[in-house]
Amino acid sequence: MFCSIAKESVESDVLKQTNGLSKKQYYSRTSQLLKVGLIKRKNSRFSLTAFGAVVYHAQLVIESGIKNYWKLKAVDSIQSSTDIAEQERVKLIKSILGDNRIEKILVE
């Protein structure tokens, strides 16, 4: 539900139908998301708050890290090697990962 709202501002009726939730599940989840400040409702449309946008982008980085777990293990091996120059190490890490968000975290 949170990801559906994050992708675009969505009307409550559409949100109810697309997620296949019971009424109780729908209201419980939207209530919790509203209470913690991740989403806001305006004219029966849900959208992310600024805090919700930050949380959503953090979630995307975590998902990317999980998808690239084995590549990150290889990066750990490269970083622990003393035989590779720093500049070469950075090039190698960038060529292995191919994900700009993770590269920024590890290289900068």
- Note the pLDDT of residue 86: 83
Where in 1-108 does DSSP place strands (E)?
10-11, 39-42, 45-48
Going by pLDDT thresholds of 50, 70 and 90, the confidence category of residue 14 is confident
Q: pLDDT tens digits for 38-95?
A: 999 998 899 999 999 999 999 999 999 999 999 999 888 888 888 888 888 888 888 8
Q: Give the chain's domains with CATH numbers.
A: 2-52 (1.10.10.10), 68-107 (no CATH)
Residue range 26-35: mean pLDDT, rounded: 93
**φ, ψ dihedrals at 66, nearest 5°:** -65, -40
Q: pLDDT tens digits for 93-106?
A: 888 888 788 888 88
